[in-house]
Structure 1
Amino acid sequence: MAKLKKVNIVSSIIAMLIISISGIGTYAVKGLLADIKTQAAKVKAEVFKELENYYKVVKKEVFKELENYYSAKIKTEFEEMKNSVKEDLKRTTDFINTVNKENLAQEIRNICAKETIKAKEILREQLTSMKLEKLNE
């Protein structure tokens, strides 16, 4: 029985040691997990900060590229519109000049026709007066 008591005492001591070590281990693991969680939060914050800074830089570069692209595009389109307006204006001016030349030519023809009629009337009158003079002689 003494041996049994020794075994029970040793078993109790071992059980107490296991429970104590378990409790200490639990607290140690909890502390370790808390440290890991804290470190993970710090790393997460640092990574987020780096990503935020990278995003700001990339955003700035992208907006600069977009500004350059659209500035060039606007300039190109403005030049194209300006050239188109110049061409339209030239065509319109040419058309107006052609119409004006045709109108001027028509007016000259009309004036010439009127002057021809007047000249013919004057010639007829002179011929008539010459004939009358000859008849009177």
Structure 2
Amino acid sequence: MIKIEVITGSFDAGAEIENLSVLSGGAVASFVGQVRGDGDLVALELEHYPAMTEKALRHIADKASQKWPLHGITIIHRVGRLKIGEQIVLTCTCSDHRQAAIEACAYIMDQLKTAAPFWKKEISSNGRESWVEERQSDIEAAENWGG
């Protein structure tokens, strides 16, 4: 089971974890990313091209399914204007074993940071807006998983 959603509203991480828990795996791993309160940041605005984004997220999930024995994957990513502390992304994986679930969840997040076509703009308290550049550390983390 693979669930992929790109949404503007919030999500219920607990409900999503519960949805994977019924798949009879021995482990469910999850990660929730939030908007950080860095400096004078007041909001983060995420844009995307729907057809391209959903295809990229599906590709990431399919690759994770090939690398680890998973019962299910959930990827939910928000777009639009998000305030400090709001949820941006949820990744959940379900497997028979803890290590596979945790590694697959980490892999998906590392790939989302570099391979998913989201454009992020930071909005500061003084009204300044700036596009977020890809970080070298994110590129290296994604590359460490290999092809």
Interval containing the TM-score (normalised by the shorter chain)? under 0.3
Where is the strand percentage greater, Structure 1 or Structure 2?
2
- Relative to the length of structure 2, the TM-score reads 0.15
Which of structures 1 and 2 has the larger relative contact order (alpha carbons within 8 angstroms, sep 6+)? 2
Larger C-alpha radius of gyration, 1 or 2? 1
